[in-house]
Amino acid sequence: MAALTLAPGVACAHGLTGSVESPPSFGWTYEPWVVALMAVSIAAYVTGYWRLRNRASLRSHSARVRATHLIGFLSGWVALALALFSPLDTLSGALFSAHMVQHESMMLIAAPLLVAGRPLGVWMWALPRRARAGVGRCVRADGFSSCWRGLTTPLTAWLLHAVALWAWHMPTMFQAALLHPWIHSLQHASFLLTALLFWWTVAGEGARRQTGGHAMLSLFTTMVHTGALGALITLAPGLWYPLYAEPCSAMGVDPLHDQQLGGLIMWVPAAAAYLIGALAIAARWLTRRKAPALATGQAVIVPRDGST
């Protein structure tokens, strides 16, 4: 009887429909305040982009760069919308593996693409002129700029993202998110916001203040600790999240196998994404370091006969 009382809580947090006697059904979900935030974000970005576009020649380099940023932001926005509103959201209430796919989609697909869109400056241009000037003064103020610099240092962003990942996968915290919608929203917000900060220091505007070595170190160490967490979940002898036992059984899925699959998703594909990102930054860093040497004639020239 205790297990039967758990299913309604999971349904409450994830929008599942159906009864204990019948398998749950899955559909698109539309949390009003989340839909509103998503709508405002894309409307502001398109407005700001259009104003910036009208200030520059369509054939200029800056216009082409902004077009690339637009594609990145729109791609990240779509990825985030699919993670939050598609049947994946309701399915994640029944399968831990689906929940893991949802979280990794937010952190490893949506977040870096949104950061690639450079949204902060574009959103500023969506504001009226006076409001834009006022926000600019606030951003340039010593107090705000100091706090922002501290928050977006590689170590701070790395720690915040790591704490969010490990804390929310503790059984007590994770199951609380399954039972209570507001905790579930807090979980998703912390995953997304810390991922945005992390990728901002790795590949966004914040990366300009750092060397490529900082970014590679952040990515490699994140790959290690997320892989370790995924391995712990995969190799656990028992269920970490018993709330999934009943909905998994209703769908004919072994709960322990589902947990192992979710752990594998974090262990292998997610860790591989961080590795690929680190290798891409390493290649870009080496290319940039090589270019000045070629320009100043310091590159080593190897004769055709292979001698030096």
User: Which range scores top for mean pLDDT: 34-38, 54-58, 280-284?
Assistant: 34-38
Cα 77 to Cα 88: distance, rounded to the nearest angstrom: 16
Q: Tens digit of pLDDT for each residue in 108-128?
A: 999 999 999 999 989 999 999
Phi/psi for 301 (5° steps) reads -100, 120
Give the pLDDT band of residue 24 (cuts 50, 70, 90): low
Identify the CA nearest to 225 among candidates 181, 281, 169, 297: 169
287-307 average pLDDT score: 52
Query: What residue type is 13 in one-letter code?
Result: A
The reported pTM is: 0.83
> Is the model's pLDDT at 151 over the cut of 70?
yes
Give pLDDT tens digits for 212-241: 678 888 999 999 999 999 999 999 999 999
Q: How far apart are CA 265 and CA 208, in angstroms?
A: 31
Instruction: Look at residue 171 and tell me whether its pLDDT is greater than 70.
Output: yes
- According to DSSP, the residues that pair with 25 across neighbouring strands are 17
26-30, 60-64, 248-252, 258-262 — which one is most confidently predicted on average? 258-262
Distances, alpha carbon 204 to alpha carbons 165, 195, 227, 301, 303, in Å? 21, 12, 24, 35, 41
Please, which contacts does 208-214 make with residues 24 or more away whose CB atoms are closer than 8 Å?
210/154, 211/285, 212/281, 212/282, 212/284, 212/285, 212/288, 213/285, 214/154
Determine the pLDDT at residue 1: 32
Query: Can you give the C-alpha Rg of the chain in angstroms?
Result: 23
DSSP H helices in the chain: 7-14, 32-54, 61-85, 87-91, 96-105, 111-116, 119-124, 129-140, 142-151, 154-168, 171-179, 181-203, 212-235, 245-250, 255-265, 271-295
Token pair of 75 as six digits: 């791609």
How far is residue 196's CA from residue 287's CA, in Å, rounded to a whole number?
Answer: 26
pLDDT at 303 over 80: no
Q: Write b or e for each residue in 112-128: b if 16 or more Cβ atoms lie within 10 A of its Cβ, otherwise e.
A: bbbbbbbbeebbbbbbe
251 vs 79, which has greater pLDDT?
A: 79
- Of 50 and 210, the one with more pLDDT: 50
C-alpha distances (whole Å) from 225 to each of 53, 163, 268 are 42, 11, 12
Asked whether the beta carbons of 308 and 263 are under 8 A apart, the reply is no
Q: What is the mean pLDDT of the chain?
A: 84
Q: What is residue 213's predicted lDDT score, i.e. its pLDDT? A: 76
Amino acid 62: pLDDT: 76
302 has a pLDDT exceeding 50: no
Judge whether 221 and 277 are in contact, CB under 8 Å: no
Q: Beta partners for 17?
A: 25
* Among 25-29, 38-42, 65-69, 270-274, the least confident range: 25-29
In the chain, where the domains are located = 3-129+150-288
Q: Which residues contact 9 (CB under 8 A, 6 or more apart)?
A: 178, 179, 180, 243
Q: What is the pLDDT of residues 49-103, one digit of tens each?
A: 998 888 766 566 677 888 899 999 999 999 999 999 999 999 998 999 999 999 9
